A and B are shown apart, each in its own frame.
Chain A
Amino acid sequence: MSAGFEPRVVALVCNWCTYLGADLAGTNRLEYPANVRIVRAPCTGRIDFNLVVKAFEGGADAVAVSGCHPGDCHYTSGNYHARRRWMMFRPLLDTLGIDLERVHFAWISAAEGKKWAQFVTEVTEQTRQLGPYTAFHDLVEASR
């Protein structure tokens, strides 16, 4: 792994659960890596796969998506739609040869500040082991 490499993790999170979970982690003074950049969306159902692609285009080494547990969606079914879409999206990414170890999905509720801190720590450490996502970064560099 390259020396001094700090992974850039983009987290696309739902406004109602995971964003508040992250807030709770903060008010509880839980420590987690500062490598994560949180992008707040109304719902996991709003998290278009294009945003995942855009995050990688913008230099992310890993992308994490997180929202309300099944049954907890503020809009009743947004997270179910997201889950259904991701069942189809992951095999496509796999066929394209995009590293699935860099694409994460978690259900984290507003009460799960601790789970958020653990999730971010795990994702960051795993990405640190994998190293920078050079395959994608090179492609973006070549397109300048």
Chain B
Amino acid sequence: MTGSTAAVQTLRDRCRSLLASGAVQVVIGYGVSDGGDPAPAFVTDADQVDQLVFDHRCHQNLTTYLTRPEVAALGRVAVVVKGCDERAAVMLEKQAQLDRAVVHLIGVACAGVGDPVDPGCRACDVRMPRHSDDVIGEVENPPADVADRYAELDAFMQRPAPERFAYWTSEFSRCTRCYACRQVCPMCFCRVCVMDKNRPQTVDTSAHLKGTLAFQITRAFHQAGRCVSCGACERACPAGIKLSLLNLSLARAAEEEFGVRPGMDPGDDLLVGGYSTSDREGFIQ
């Protein structure tokens, strides 16, 4: 049961022993201070593990910190991961961004984040971590009433193309180019993002429709074959843009064309960056 006192106690005990034994120098988890909502916490002292919690409010994907040089500088790291975050860690390792041998993954059972539960979480079938060093807690996975992960996309695709285009331009008109979606995403690990390059300037930096459309296409497509559907980008968006719909369309392309769901199986090949001579080409004349 997610967030149960027993599970949180187990989590704290585990972190305490990892820090006390010197196995890791820092634990990245969810911490509570002053009774507010849990926020990412960097615990470096075994005496401070009692601030760590885990419940449905712990929505951040903490693996995004693993590729930051300032975090690596702290020493060996343990990180608290939900099933989706663990998929991100698998993808980071596959892309040579993470040395699994030196990062300790503390997996936690998760029944979904948000109140009410995030729609993406209702379709989640990785509620129990599978590749972590520890697994804390237990939930039914997948639950009997697990939702269809493409239902929302299917419904959206029923609308005619011009209507879809009008929907996105109206959504994107609220985008202020704050890049929060990029900052929270563990897959956006480029040291210099193409959005920040100006020689040449590929994408218009102004927050007008032309620039935001190009940005949003770029953000989405750079996730092709890599997005693990953790939903961090959408939750971080201050404009409430439904980024998960775009991510879902790429996830479905990956699953239908190649039978791959990024981060599910560490043995899968990377989809973009690799190729097969037998790839489908019905769309090519």
Binding site for B on A (CB under 8 A): 48-50, 53-54, 57, 70-71, 77, 80-81, 83-92, 94-100, 104-107, 119, 135, 139-140, 142-143
* 8 A-B residue pairs with CB within 8 Å: A49-B221, A71-B277, A83-B275, A88-B272, A92-B221, A105-B285, A106-B285, A142-B209
Q: Is the CB of A84 within 8 A of B214?
A: no
Interface SS majority for chain A: helix
Range of interface residues on B (Cβ < 8 Å): 35 or more
The answer, yes or no, to whether B246 is at the interface (CB within 8 Å) is yes
Q: Is the CB of B285 within 8 A of A49?
A: no
The CA-CA distance from A48 to B272 in the complex, in Å, is 13
Q: Which residue of B lies closest to A96 (CB)?
A: B168
Q: Give the distance to chain A from B107, nearest Cβ to Cβ, in Å.
A: 29
Given contacts A97-B161, A104-B285, A142-B208, contact A77 B275 (CB under 8 A): yes
Q: Is the CB of A135 within 8 A of B250?
A: no
B163 partner, pick from A88, A97, A104, A142, beta carbons under 8 A: A97
The answer, yes or no, to whether B217 is at the interface (CB within 8 Å) is yes
| Chain B contacts for A84, CB-based, 8 A | 271-272, 274-276, 279
| Chain B contacts for A98, CB-based, 8 A | 161, 165
| Chain A contacts for B246, CB-based, 8 A | 92, 95-96
Q: Is the CB of A143 within 8 A of B210?
A: yes
Q: Give the distance to chain B from A103, nearest Cβ to Cβ, in Å.
A: 9
Q: Give the distance to chain A from B44, nearest Cβ to Cβ, in Å.
A: 41
The CA-CA distance from A88 to B250 in the complex, in Å, is 6
Q: Is the CB of B169 within 8 A of A83?
A: no
Q: Choose, from B18-26, B139-147, B176-184, B252-260, the stretch at the interface.
A: B252-260
Q: Is the CB of A85 within 8 A of B272?
A: yes
Given contacts A50-B218, A80-B275, contact A97 B165 (CB under 8 A): yes
Given contacts A49-B221, A77-B275, A80-B277, contact A95 B208 (CB under 8 A): no
| Chain A contacts for B47, CB-based, 8 A | none
* Chain B contacts with A in 210-231, Cβ cutoff 8 A: 210-211, 213-214, 217-218, 220-221, 224-225
The CA-CA distance from A105 to B283 in the complex, in Å, is 7
| Chain B contacts for A70, CB-based, 8 A | 277, 281
Q: Give the distance to chain B from A46, nearest Cβ to Cβ, in Å.
A: 13
Q: Is the CB of A88 within 8 A of B225?
A: yes
The CA-CA distance from A142 to B225 in the complex, in Å, is 33
Q: Is the CB of A53 within 8 A of B214?
A: yes
Given contacts A88-B221, A88-B225, A97-B164, contact A139 B169 (CB under 8 A): yes
Q: Which residue of B lies closest to A122 (CB)?
A: B285
The answer, yes or no, to whether B280 is at the interface (CB within 8 Å) is yes
